[in-house]
Amino acid sequence: MTMTSVPEFQHRTVLLNEAVDALELAGARADGVYVDGTFGRGGHSRLILSRLAANGRLIAFDKDLQAIATAEQVQDSRFSIVHDSFATMHDALAERGVSAVDGILLDLGISSPQVDDASRGFSFRNDGPLDMRMDTTRGLSAAEWLATESEQTLEKVIREYGEERFAFQIAKAIVARRAVEPISSTRQLAGIVAGAVKTREKGKDPATRTFQAIRIFINKELEDLETGLNQAWASLAPGGIMAIISFHSLEDRMVKRFLAAKANVEQPDRRLPIRAIDLPQPELKLLAKIKPSDAEVDENPRARSAVMRVARRLPVAAKGAA
């Protein structure tokens, strides 16, 4: 397969060894079935495959067409790729004859090639068409959405998904500009935001939060994450491990709350006559919270905001006879 249709941009997989180590691919577990919910450019998947035994299996997911093209070059009978969101995991696995898996890895970050390729429209640093879709075959582009959405909704999205305190001013400026000319390029949008944002944190571009917000909304990232966490849980075998890498506070907050709800169960009043074996039991054990080392951040500044949470699904405790 030629690579002419797949532009090459350097990508460094964040927490590469730490994430794959967390799946505990040794002994009998090396013969298990695993999921890489976000293939990206395959860094995690390739390392997982290098540690799987001959009978092991890895099923990966991705919405991005360039990621799919890269995945299709992996020549390994133990590997398969699904062109869809990890939010479809449970049904996709069932279609492939898999009822439960031994480990799931979700790397929620946008990949460096997506950011660095100006034609994708994710970055304000290089001018390009304002697209921002992970899967360019589905849904509205950012330009199409900005052209028609109400000022109130624009403000809400920018405020909630970008945690942007100047959301009102930015939304108002977008509506004013689109009345004069279509907003079709990343440079146009970045300029509009810069004109509306009067102050900003040192070292951060004024457009950072707005671009993040629109990307998250266009790709339904938080909706996918909420559904995907439940899909992953439904697919994980007892003793199986989940490792989830997030890159901003909205994602990490959702992951933290999901795991905490499974790990911490409300106990009844101790004065009630309930046997210990009948008390509510936690469904998972929190194993680790890991951040990139200083050395990794020095080599790859995009790793700075990453945090990985790792948990193991606990076996269901058997109830005693009445």
pTM for this prediction? 0.87
pLDDT value at residue 209: 93
Residue 1 lies in a domain: no
User: What is the pLDDT averaged over residues 279-308?
Assistant: 91
Please identify, among 168, 192, 218, the residue that sits at the C-terminal boundary of a domain.
218
The pLDDT tens digits for 25-69 are 999 999 999 999 999 999 999 999 999 999 999 999 999 999 999
Residue 321 lies in a domain: no
User: Does 43 belong to an annotated binding site?
Assistant: yes
User: Does 42 belong to an annotated binding site?
Assistant: yes
Q: Tokens representing 267?
A: 């106990």
Range of the domain at 148: 136-218
pLDDT at 79 over 70: yes
Among the ranges given (128-137, 196-205, 215-224, 261-270), the one the predictor scored with the smallest mean pLDDT: 261-270
Residue 118 lies in a domain: no
Residue 253 lies in a domain: yes
Residue 318 lies in a domain: no
CA 285 to CA 275: how far, in whole Å? 22
pLDDT value at residue 220: 95
Please state the three-class secondary structure of 190-256 as a single string.
HHHHHHHCCCCCCCCCCCHHHHHHHHHHHCCHHHHHHHHHHHHHHHEEEEEEEEEEECCHHHHHHHH
pLDDT value at residue 123: 82
CATH code at position 32: 3.40.50.150
Nearest to 22, CA basis, from 318, 312, 321, 322: 312
Please identify, among 174, 201, 218, the residue that sits at the C-terminal boundary of a domain.
218
For residue 50, give Cα distances in angstroms to 75, 101, 236: 13, 18, 22
User: By the 8 A CB rule, do 262 and 233 touch?
Assistant: yes
User: Does 86 belong to an annotated binding site?
Assistant: yes
Q: What's the whole-number average pLDDT of the chain?
A: 89
Same domain membership, residue 149 and residue 82: no
Residue 8 lies in a domain: no
User: How wide is the angle at C-alpha 188 spanned by C-alphas 141 and 201, nearest 5°?
Assistant: 100
CATH code at position 200: 1.10.150.170
The pLDDT tens digits for 284-293 are 999 999 999 9
What is the arrangement of strands in the sheet containing 57-62, beginning at the earlier edge strand?
79-83, 57-62, 33-36, 101-107, 236-246, 307-313, 284-290
Please identify, among 218, 239, 264, the residue that sits at the C-terminal boundary of a domain.
218
Neighbours of 253 (CB within 10 A): 11
Sign of the CA dihedral 157, 205, 85, 246? negative
Nearest to 178, CA basis, from 214, 146, 154: 146
Backbone angle region of 196, left / alpha / beta, with phi > 0 → left and psi within -120 to 50 → alpha: alpha
